[in-house]
Amino acid sequence: IRSELSLKLQNERLRISRDLHDNLGAELTIVGGALSRRAHISASLEERSALETIALNIRQAMALLREVSGRSGMSSFPSKVCRTK
């Protein structure tokens, strides 16, 4: 029973990590692209700078998401998302 529960937990963690990668990654891509486009058409240098900083932060978050959920890191990603005690 214990190994069955462990397998179910591992499968659920994997499902969550894939969902996060697929859904969060897509949303970050959309928002980052919109911010970058807005920064390029902004008339204000101050606004452009702020938008570019936010877009950079989103790209960094996307890189981290890819790093921890990539093929080599997928096995460790669930434990980073769903810490158990």
Rg (CA), the chain: 18
Tens of pLDDT, residue by residue over 37-64, are: 998 898 799 999 999 999 999 999 988 8
**pLDDT value at position 70?**
67
* Alpha-carbon gap, residue 60 to 38, rounded angstroms: 19
Give the domain ranges of the chain.
Answer: 2-81
Q: Which residues of 36-46 are buried (b: 16+ CB within 10 A; e: fewer)?
A: beebeeeeeee
Tens of pLDDT, residue by residue over 13-30, are: 888 888 888 888 899 999
User: With a threshold of 0.85, does the pTM exceed it?
Assistant: no
Provide the pLDDT confidence category of residue 2 given band limits of 50, 70 and 90.
confident
